[in-house]
Amino acid sequence: MPRLLEVRGLEAFYGSTQALFGLDFGLAIGAITALLGANGAGKTTTLRAISQMVTVSGSIVFDGEELVGKPTETVARRGIAHVPEGRGTFVALTVEENLRLGAITRRDLPAVAADMQRMYERFPRLGVRRHQQAGTLSGGEQQMLAIARALMLRPRLLLLDEPSFGLAPRIVAEIFQIMRQINREDRVSMLLVEQNAQSALDISHEAYLLETGRTVRSGPSKDIRLDEKVRRTYLGM
């Protein structure tokens, strides 16, 4: 199976503190891949490492191109959209301006306008609030805005950092439903970081289990779900 992203021997540092210790993993084209693990296992750091927001060593090859050492904005311009921890909303700007920013590097303006319309259809509540300051949106709406903003880049890979964080179960189900739909219809590959292992394994094709900056299990999600350790520690069964 061809690999969209290939990570080899990835180490990441916050100052002198090492957070990842030689991670190896790959992402299949068109798949949803989940990164599971406890707090502090290095899930968020892995996403930040891909976007070059932390000091990294090792190799991250995206579609044949090495990303290590490139600035964050270049990684984005190569087609990797990152929905960060805390959603990264431009709170003082309007919903519409947030979406325009998602596509700020694109030059195909008519297509951008069409994409914006599609986002309003996919997330009707954003359409209603398009001229409202983004900071006044509810948590669930802000998460939808963050995903919509990321999609405006027309990314080939979407990095999602805990999209369920702090949201009501009903909203989480709605957001996961939309993610599945985006993956299927727009063929956007996704790397999903989740505390909520159950939902993450439901939606993903492949999963990696992280412990203190290393991968300890990997495989198709349906197999990981049956793993004794995963069941006990993360699914509470």
Minimum Å gap between C-beta 176 and other proteins is 21
CB of 100 to other proteins, least distance (A): 6
Residues in Cβ contact with 160 at an 8 Å cutoff, skipping those fewer than 6 apart? 83, 147, 179, 190, 191, 192, 193
Counting contacts by CB under 8 A, is residue 77 touching other proteins? yes
- 10 Å CB burial of residue 69 (0-12, 13-18, 19+) is exposed
Among 111, 139, 112, which residue's Cα sits nearest to residue 125?
139
Near other proteins by CB under 8 A, which window of 19-27, 69-77, 120-128, 189-197?
Answer: 69-77
Question: Which of 13-21, 26-34, 79-87, 213-221 is the region at the interface with other proteins (rule: CB under 8 A)?
Answer: 79-87
The residue ranges of DSSP E strands in 17-139, in sequence order, are 17-28, 32-37, 55-62, 65-66, 80-83
Instruction: Calculate the alpha carbon distances from 177 to 30, 84, 122, 180 in Å.
Output: 16, 20, 11, 5
Residue in this structure with the two tokens 């990696």, named with its chain if needed: 208
* Strand pairing report for 189-193 and 32-37: parallel
Q: Which helix (H) or strand (E) holds 190?
A: strand 189-193
Q: Pick out residues in 101-130 that bind other proteins (CB under 8 A).
A: 101-102, 104-105
Q: Does 90 bind other proteins (CB under 8 A)?
A: yes
Residue selected from 9, 139, 169, 220 as contacting other proteins according to rule CB under 8 A: 139
Residue 93 interacts with other proteins (CB under 8 A): yes or no: yes
Pick 149 or 225: Cβ nearer other proteins? 149
- Min dist CB 225 to other proteins, Å, is 31
Closest separation in Å from C-beta 123 to other proteins:
17
138 lies in the site for other proteins, by CB under 8 A: yes
Q: Which of 184, 226, 191 is nearest to 83 (CA)?
A: 191
Cβ closer to other proteins: 105 or 212?
105
Q: Which residues bind other proteins (CB under 8 A)?
A: 51, 53, 71-74, 76-77, 81-82, 84, 88-93, 97, 100-102, 104-105, 133, 135-139, 142, 149, 153, 166
